[in-house]
Amino acid sequence: MSSKERRDLERKIEALIMAIPRETEAQEYYLELEREYNDQASKEMFRFLADQEKSHRIHLEAILARLEVQLAKLPK
């Protein structure tokens, strides 16, 4: 693998490392809003959004794990 390909892989990992906490923050934000509202429609909407953010985070973590394995297998 060329140094350019290694750097591309490292950049993808960096992007995921930045994105994952943002998904967590968004999930927490929506859960906070869910607690603030009393009407069922609002609660359901914010719970749905929180669940979407959690799903995004899980998906991104899985991609990150795969990329880290790929990177670890590369010669230095």
pLDDT tens per residue, the chain (76 residues)? 578 889 999 999 999 999 999 999 999 999 999 999 999 999 999 999 999 999 999 999 999 999 999 999 888 7
pTM: 0.89
Residue 71 amino acid letter: L
63-68: Cβ within 8 A, 24+ apart: 63/16, 64/13, 64/16, 64/17, 64/20, 67/9, 67/12, 67/13, 67/16, 68/13
Query: How much is the pLDDT for 3?
Result: 87
